[in-house]
Amino acid sequence: MARILLNNVTKRYGKFKELAVDNFNMDIKDQEFLVFLGPSGCGKSTTLRMVAGLEDISEGEIYIGDTLVNDYPPKDRDISMVFQNYALYPNLTVYENIAFGLRIRKMPKHEIEAAVKRAADVLEIGNFLNRKPRELSGGQRQRVALGRAIVRSPQAFLMDEPLSNLDAKLRVQMRAEIIRLHRTIGVTTIYVTHDQIEAMTMGDRIVVMNKGVIQQVDTPEQIYHKP
């Protein structure tokens, strides 16, 4: 059960200890698709990066599953991140990009092959496993980034504006693909966006943030119907 719990999580940056995230409390259910929505600078990425272990927390506690992960490095948190800029290795093929995390964990070769094939099937990228990222379209690259994230069957998915670099048409298509992927593998997901439509169409619940604090937490239906 990969519930994620944030208790009074606070982040202060720099010499003047400016508050980026102020006393954030959230209980993310197992298999939930939770969206952080809000304007640029409201603390979405910082919160996500604290869950990922890419940013120290100033105060509070973060649990992934039953584990207090405050002092765990990213690689020990059993999470996968997907970023806006894909973060693929340019000199590795699609196959090698997806297999990378399994190789450094010393998984046997035949198991890696099977895992990459499963991920590639789900994302329909099996036909270009031998290409380099530069030989792919933006949407295909983002699919490879998703493949790399799901290949390890992590406890949670953390996505930071994964569709922002795509054109409008592809964004709509990839939204649907990410939702389909989430239904297929059912992994607890936190998805950061500043795009209201993305939040409304994708989230089980939406956390609306502003200036480092939570303003509202509701389902898309509730948010839509409130005056």
Interface residues with ligand ADP (CB under 6 A) are 13-14, 20, 38, 40-46, 135-138, 140
Nearer to ligand ADP, 45 or 97 (CB): 45
Nearer to ligand ADP, 13 or 89 (CB): 13
Q: How far is the CB of 51 from ligand ADP (least distance, A)?
A: 12
CA distance 5 to 27: 5
Helix (H, G, I), strand (E, B) or coil at 123: helix
Q: How far is the CB of 212 from ligand ADP (least distance, A)?
A: 7
CA distance 71 to 55: 11
Beta-bridge partners for 62: 6
Q: Which residues of 180-189 are buried (b: 16+ CB within 10 A; e: fewer)?
A: ebbeeeebbb
Nearer to ligand ADP, 79 or 136 (CB): 136
Q: How far is the CB of 45 from ligand ADP (least distance, A)?
A: 3
What beta strand segments (E) does the chain contain?
Answer: 4-13, 18-28, 33-37, 59-64, 67-68, 79-82, 156-160, 188-193, 205-210, 213-218
Nearer to ligand ADP, 40 or 106 (CB): 40
Q: How far is the CB of 71 from ligand ADP (least distance, A)?
A: 20
Residue type, 14: G
